[in-house]
Amino acid sequence: VILMTLIIGCQSNKKKAESKLEVQPVKKVNPNIVVIYLDDLGYGDLSAYGATELITPNIDALASGGMRFTNAYASSATCTPSRYALLTGMYPWRNKNAKILPGTAPLLISTEQQTLPKMLKKEGYQTAIVGKWHLGLGTGIVNWNERVSPGPNEVGFDESYILAATQDRVPTVYIENGNVVGLDKNDPIEVDYKNNFEGEPTAITNPEMVKMKWHHGHNNSIVNGIPRIGYMKGGDGAKWSDIDMADNFLKRAQAYVKDHENKPFFLYYAMQQPHVPRTPHPRFVGKSGLGPRGDVILEADWCIGEFMKTLEAEGILENTLVVFSSDNGPVLNDGYFDDAVEKIGKHKPSGKLRGGKYSLFEAGTRMPFITYWKGEIQPGVSNALVCQMDLLASVAKLVGIEETSTDSKELLDVLLGKSNDGRTDLVLEATSRTALRSGEWLMIPPYKGKAIEEKVQIELGNSLDFKLFNLKEDIGQQNNLAKSNPEKLKEMIEKFETLRGK
């Protein structure tokens, strides 16, 4: 009977409550795995993480019904490297090309590399990405009018429905399984990041066409009144509607769940909020009082609530592990005048942490991170040190395999709230600089370069001295202990050099 139950458990994803065979509790073999990943959401942006000016009930429900992590990190303080680490389990600083990519960059992940979806696919999972990719496409010169490959489908995703790079970068079209959605062959798409196409308007030549003003960068092609990074010509009918993007990705994610619930699936739901340009649907405009940045966080929260309702309605909530996080820390003005700075009021996107996006200080990489699995994860708060990169080896364990070929650490019990035994060390990265977290300590080596990036008003973590912080006592990184604790500093430098392979 147990064997039969197990077999049935394997074959079907749905709870077989009515089945007579189910005398024993069903072992949850191969649960669905959903990674909900936000873009530029900060440690202090959720009410579950202490925000008072912004209330995010749906994400809070995941936090209060699951494990809320307070010491969880993205690998990096920008998007591309964090996503690379999440999907490959590898430290991004091992790959010199793992930097913020233009929309024309080739695929960053080798098709030979291990990836989370590839690994799950081998175990019989169905795999899909809906949302932001930003890991490059093709081999160098992309013809957007033919199937674009290699891409997500070549590194483990059975299905992909993506925005290629970022919402502020061209091409501003959705790509489904390598093909531009809604492309009219008579209006071919051309993309260039160096030169404009003759006669095409830009924010410089035609400022009167611009509805969202640029602050720095973002003055190339104009789409839907929003000036972007990069030049694009053609593909008019295929261009996305910015205000409908969240609804569009949500619908796709929901449809995927409904169509694939009979076998285990892995869904990477990579939402675009609250990255620039912040374009809330009119339903959410003005809802936060904090301007479009707050509004799109509320929009994202709503989407997550709707998505969770779908899991519940389909009867698979108890058989789905949901992991929620963000790719890097927060930024207010990231290149557009959109009231993010003006309307911030008392809200603190970084919470008590120092720095933000692009920074080696904590707010760059320490993320809201929640694991939720109804009936399996007991609600709680964990201060174990974990990195998003560790999902790969941990999920491997969950589905019954061992995966040791990457930098990913197997922390399944930690992620399920059954252990507090997290990592001991983690190398953090921000715009190609690295730092070491070890135990409660954080060491930032000297880096030339400006202390503050004025355009975005963020402290980057550069200085000519070593910096050493005890994060347990000083989460805001105000007291540099490098001089007063030379032994600890020495130990940290040695560990850092060993880990970095110097």
Residues interacting with ligand NG6, by CB under 6 A? 39-40, 78-79, 100, 134, 166, 168, 216-218, 229, 275-276, 328, 334-335
The residue (of 52 and 97) whose beta carbon lies closer to Ca ion is 97
The residue (of 455 and 472) whose beta carbon lies closer to Ca ion is 455
Closest residue to ligand NG6, based on beta-carbon distance: 217
Whether 75 and 365 have beta carbons less than 8 Å apart is answered as yes
Q: Residue 349: which residues within 8 A CB-CB, separation 6 or more?
A: 42, 43, 44, 45, 329, 330, 332, 356, 363
Q: According to the binding rule CB under 5 A, does residue 338 interact with Ca ion? A: no
217 binds, among Ca ion, ligand NG6, none (CB under 5 to 8 A by kind): ligand NG6
The residue (of 67 and 109) whose beta carbon lies closer to Ca ion is 109
> Binding mask 71-110 vs Ca ion (x if CB under 5 A, - otherwise)?
--------x-------------------------------
Whether 490 and 392 have beta carbons less than 8 Å apart is answered as no
Q: According to the binding rule CB under 5 A, does residue 276 interact with Ca ion? A: no
* Alpha-carbon gap, residue 369 to 85, rounded angstroms: 15
Alpha-carbon separation of residue 50 from 39, 44, 352 (angstroms): 19, 6, 9
Smallest distance from Ca ion to CB 129, Å: 16
Q: According to the binding rule CB under 5 A, does residue 429 interact with Ca ion? A: no
DSSP output for 468-493: EEETTT-TT-----TTT-HHHHHHHH
* Alpha-carbon gap, residue 461 to 329, rounded angstroms: 14
* Alpha-carbon gap, residue 129 to 108, rounded angstroms: 16
Q: According to the binding rule CB under 5 A, does residue 328 interact with Ca ion? A: yes
166 binds, among ligand NG6, Ca ion, none (CB under 5 to 8 A by kind): ligand NG6
> Which of 442, 484, 488, 491 lies closest to 467 in space, CA to CA?
442
Instruction: Pick the stretch among 26-34, 186-194, 259-267, 323-331 that binds Ca ion (CB under 5 A).
Output: 323-331
Q: Residue 173 forms beta bridges with which residues? A: 239
> Which of 100, 131, 52 lies closest to 432 in space, CA to CA?
100
Within 166-279, residue ranges assigned H as helices are 245-260
229 binds, among Ca ion, ligand NG6, none (CB under 5 to 8 A by kind): ligand NG6
The one among 38, 39, 60, 125 contacting Ca ion by CB under 5 A: 39
Residues 40-59 that bind Ca ion (CB under 5 A): 40
The residue (of 168 and 390) whose beta carbon lies closer to ligand NG6 is 168
Smallest distance from ligand NG6 to CB 172, Å: 13
Whether 160 and 150 have beta carbons less than 8 Å apart is answered as no
DSSP state of 197: P
DSSP state of 202: B
Q: According to the binding rule CB under 5 A, does residue 242 interact with Ca ion? A: no
Q: Name the helix (H) or strand (E) containing 299.
A: helix 292-313
Smallest distance from ligand NG6 to CB 219, Å: 9
> Binding mask 209-238 vs Ca ion (x if CB under 5 A, - otherwise)?
------------------------------
* Alpha-carbon gap, residue 49 to 171, rounded angstroms: 35
Smallest distance from Ca ion to CB 331, Å: 9
Which residues of this protein are in contact with Ca ion, per CB under 5 A? 39-40, 79, 327-328
